[in-house]
Amino acid sequence: MNSYEQYMKEVSQPMRDELTEAGFSELTTPEDVEQFVTSMKEKTLVVVNSVCGCAAGLARPAAKASLNNAKKPEKLVTVFAGQDREATLKMREYFKGIEPSSPSMALMEDGKVLHFIPREEIEDHDVEEIVTNLTDAYNKYL
């Protein structure tokens, strides 16, 4: 690992921890993603994490806050765009017809996207709006 990769790993660790401490499992390799998605039976929230400000101030807090809803996904997973590139690319293969964006969130079941929130619905929105977007999807699909 070169010094840049080491630096980015150290910088991004708290951003990873924010989700894993809330119960999200990290998928860090394409194999992790494939194994998880192909065996997915439960409704799952997938967060495409990022180092950007809208991930820090909006996406991660909204994803965590949405879990206070009466209905919530049975599984929580995350991939980290820009850090675990291959895993993120693999996950995006399952987001059929959806342009790549990070951060983003997908509610999935049986390997298919039920609801997707792209960066455009995160950036310049309030945390509460994003939470409502997520919880409305939970209430509709769960």
Residues annotated as part of the active site: 52, 54
Cα separation, 36 vs 42, in Å, equals 11
**Short-list 53, 66, 37, CA closest to 135:** 66
**What are residue 45's DSSP bridge partners?**
76, 107
**Short-list 98, 114, 70, CA closest to 106:** 114
